[in-house]
Structure 1
Amino acid sequence: MTNVSGWVPQTIYTIYIAAPAERVWEALTSPEFSRQYFSGYTVTIEPRRGGTLTMTAPDGSLHIGGEVIDWNPPRRLSVTWNVGWPGLVEALGGTLVTYEIEPAGDAVRLTMTEAHEHPLDDDILSGGQQGWPAILSALKSLLETGTAPKITMQPPMRMIAALKRRGIRIPGLPD
């Protein structure tokens, strides 16, 4: 099991969703749900501590791999989140994504925390800071209305430039 005790939280988002905790948990852990709010990407989680996490792109290729660090339905899920770009994890260290679901009256409070093995600069973090609000907003819409909006975003150019400066090649983009 990966030891994440010293990893530093650097990105935190909290949203309120008018849905039961069990339904939010299902959306976070179900491949069928994730495909709807994660822009066609499918998250598959082996439902136990020490299990695997995989995220496949719409074309079926592996995009992210990881390990389940904490599995506590329907309250807390922590997974390592290793994007499969050549040299990325070696250069930047690992990432830990944690979802905490707490009662909040007729809603739940969902807090997503992205922690890192090593502190990262704002340019590197800008990719997640651009992507997470769209993902969490689509999740909220899906659970509250039954439909996730199609959100179109520009590529995270600040992050891409910072990764290229570190010699990290991003598949599908010119060097």
Structure 2
Amino acid sequence: MDIAQFKPKTVYVTYVAATAEQVWQALTDPAFTRQYFGGFSVDVEPRQGGAFRLLYPDGRTHIAGEVLDWSPPQRFSCTWLVEGMKEFAELPVCVVTYDIAPAGEAVRLTMTESHSWNVPDAILAGGQSGWPAILSGLKSLLETGKAPKLEMAPPPGFMEAVAKAVAEKPWLKTR
């Protein structure tokens, strides 16, 4: 995989009144992620090249990938493939990167979702609506001790765009 082929398509920045170590733990500890990530828990082998998974509450794999950068508590980057939903399993992997930087009495958390193909806007809309909700939950959990229960659904046209992309495989035509 040529990481240089991946271009940022979704970037979300939030400021969290916590330490870098607390934000890092919230991103990489299963007990934390379960509280703000819709019941999903992270399972990560803490090293570059290690396995990354996001697990359903029953332990099945929803997201699978490989750790690309493990630099606690500043940067965590991994490939991201939705295996737990057959509609998505044929899409190319994307790269999700969390950057944590000091910002006065808080830290700046930047999540970047990068892709190697020209992803349709209707598919990008899923992450553009999902990431703010997920990371707002992380922020609330660290700042107040409680993550809000959010109702989330795919944006209009999202599932149709995924089905079309899987059928047409436009990423193969750009190589």
- The TM-score with structure 1 as length reference comes to 0.89
For residues 54 and 3 of structure 1, the distance between their equivalents in structure 2, rounded to whole angstroms, comes to 21
CA-based RMSD of the aligned residues comes to: 1.5
Cα distance in 2, alignment partners of residues 138 and 12 from structure 1: 17
**Structure 1 Cα separation of the partners of residues 159 and 88 of structure 2:** 12
Q: 1:11: Cα distance to partner? A: 0.1
Amino acid at match of 2:150: I
- State the 1:58 CA deviation: 2.1
Corresponding position: 1:120 with 2:119: yes
2:141 aligned residue: 142
The equivalent residue for 1:106 is: 105
CA deviation after TM superposition for structure 1 residue 87, in Å: 6.6
Is the counterpart of residue 88 in structure 1 residue 88 in structure 2? yes
Letter of the 2:79 counterpart: T
Partner SS, residue 166 of structure 1: helix
Counterpart residue number, 2:172: none
Q: How far is the alpha carbon of 1:165 from its aligned partner?
A: 2.6
Q: Distance in 2 between matches of 1:13 and 1:75?
A: 16
Q: Spell out, residue by residue over 1:134-156, the C-alpha distance to the aligned partner (whole angstroms, 9 max, x if none).
A: 00000000000111110112333
Unaligned residue ranges in structure 2 (runs of 5+): 168-175
TM-score, normalising length from structure 2? 0.89
Q: Percent identity?
A: 54
Contact 2:120 2:161 in 1 (8 A): no
* Alignment correspondent of 2:170: none
Provide, for residues 64-91 of structure 1, a one-character-per-residue CA deviation record: whole Å limited to 9, x for no partner: 100000000000010001001337354x
Equivalence for 1:70: 69
CA contact (8 A) 2:87 2:162 kept: no
**Count of aligned pairs:** 166
Counterpart-to-counterpart distance in 2, 1:21 and 1:10:
25
Is 2:64 aligned against 1:50? Answer: no
Q: Which residue of 2 aligns with 1:35?
A: 34
Q: Deviations over 1:1-33 (max 9, x none)?
A: x43122011000000000000000011010110
Contact 2:87 2:163 in 1 (8 A): no
Distance 1:77 1:167 in 2: 28
Question: For the residues of structure 1 that align with 2:33 and 2:100, how far apart are their CA atoms?
Answer: 17
- Measured against aligned partners, the alpha-carbon deviations of 1:47-72 in whole angstroms (never above 9, x if no partner) come to 00000101111232211100000000
1:130 aligned onto 2:137:
no
Aligned to 2:17: 18
Structure 1 segments of 4 or more deviating over 6 A? none
* AA at the equivalent of 2:145: G
* Structure-1 separation of matches of 2:8 and 2:165: 22
Structure 1's unaligned 5+ residue stretches are 169-175
| CA–CA distance in structure 1, aligned partners of residues 115 and 23 of structure 2 | 24
Q: Aligned with 1:129: secondary structure?
A: helix
Letter in 2 for 1:111: T
